[in-house]
C-alpha cells in the first residue's frame, strides 16, 4: 500500500496532476492492424487489414473509448461502431490492460451480409499513457453474436448461417 501511494505521489509530481483532481484525458486516435476471420459464410478463413478511429476517455483507474472500425480484403468487409471499456493493471506510464469492446456490426464475409452485435475481449499495452501522444497495442478475439447466411442461388435466404470469429491485432496512436 505504501509503495502504491509513493508511486501515485511521484506520478502527480512528475506529470503535474493536481491533488484532489483525478487524471482525466479525452483524446482522439487511429489504429491499424489485421483480423483473421474464421468460420465465415464462405466456409473458409480470411485474413484482412483493419483500421479505425476512436475517441478515448481515460482516468487513472479505467479507460473507455467509442470507436468506428473497418476491415476488408478480397471482397469481404466488416464495419463496427461500438464502445470499449478497459481496466489498466497499474497507474504507471506504461500499463498493460484488459477490456471488453461491444459493437453493432455489419459484415459480409462471402455470404449475404448481416447486421448484428459483436463482442471482443482484449488484452493491451498503453505506452506513454500520460504524455500528449500515446501508443496502444491490442490483441483481441472478435465474436459475432449473429449469423451470416451463405449464398444459395436456388432459394435466396436459405443458406446455412455461420457466426464468424477470429483474432485481431491492432496498433494505435492517440493525441
pLDDT in tens, 51-77: 999 999 988 889 999 999 999 988 889
Does residue 87 fall inside a structural domain? yes
- What is the CA angle 95-100-101, rounded to 5? 115
> Do the domain assignments include residue 123?
yes
What is the secondary structure of 116-169 as a DSSP string? Answer: EEEEEEEEEEEESTTSSSEEEEEEEEEEESS-EEPP-SSSTT-SPEE--EEEEE
Q: Kindly indicate the confidence band of residue 158, based on its pLDDT and cuts at 50, 70 and 90.
A: low
Q: Residue 141: which domain range? A: 22-174
Rounded Cα distance between 81 and 96, Å, is: 24
Residue at 33 is within a domain: yes
For all residues of the chain together, what is the average pLDDT?
86
Worst-scoring range by mean pLDDT, 6-10, 81-85, 123-127, 156-160? Answer: 6-10
Q: Count of domains in the chain?
A: 1
Give the burial class of 125: count Cβ atoms within 10 A of its Cβ; 0-12 exposed, 13-18 middle, 19 or more buried: middle
Please report whether residue 6 resides in a domain: no
- Would residue 1 count as lying in a domain? no
pLDDT digits (tens, 9 = 90+) for 70-123: 999 888 899 999 999 999 999 888 999 999 999 999 998 888 889 999 999 999
Backbone angles phi, psi at 8, to 5 degrees: -65, -40
Residues 107/72, Cβ–Cβ less than 8 Å: no
**CATH code of the domain containing 85:** 2.40.160.20
How much is the pLDDT for 2?
A: 58
By percentage, how much of the chain surpasses pLDDT 70?
Answer: 83
Is 151 inside a domain boundary? yes
**111, part of any domain:** yes
Residue 106 lies in a domain: yes
> What are the cell numbers at 46?
480470411
Using the CB atoms, write b or e for 56-65: b if 16+ within 10 Å.
bebebeebeb
Asked whether the predicted pLDDT for residue 133 surpasses 70, the reply is: yes
Q: What does pTM read for this prediction?
A: 0.82
Amino acid at each position: 500500500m505504501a509503495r502504491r501511494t509513493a508511486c501515485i505521489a511521484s506520478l502527480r509530481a512528475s506529470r503535474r496532476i493536481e491533488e484532489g483532481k483525478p487524471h482525466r484525458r479525452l483524446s482522439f486516435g487511429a489504429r491499424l492492424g489485421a483480423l483473421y476471420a474464421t468460420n465465415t459464410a464462405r466456409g473458409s478463413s480470411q485474413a484482412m487489414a483493419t483500421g479505425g478511429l476512436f475517441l478515448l476517455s481515460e482516468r487513472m483507474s479505467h479507460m473507455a473509448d467509442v470507436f468506428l472500425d473497418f476491415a476488408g480484403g478480397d471482397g469481404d468487409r466488416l464495419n463496427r461502431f461500438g464502445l470499449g471499456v478497459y481496466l489498466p493493471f497499474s497507474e504507471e506510464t506504461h500499463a498493460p490492460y484488459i477490456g471488453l469492446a461491444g459493437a453493432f456490426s455489419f459484415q459480409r464475409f462471402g455470404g449475404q451480409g448481416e447486421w448484428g452485435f459483436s463482442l471482443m475481449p482484449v488484452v493491451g499495452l498503453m505506452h506513454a499513457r500520460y504524455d500528449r501522444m500515446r501508443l496502444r497495442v491490442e490483441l483481441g478475439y472478435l465474436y459475432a453474436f449473429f449469423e451470416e447466411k451463405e449464398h444459395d442461388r436456388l432459394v435466396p435466404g436459405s443458406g446455412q448461417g455461420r457466426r464468424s470469429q477470429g483474432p485481431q491485432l491492432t496498433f494505435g496512436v492517440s493525441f
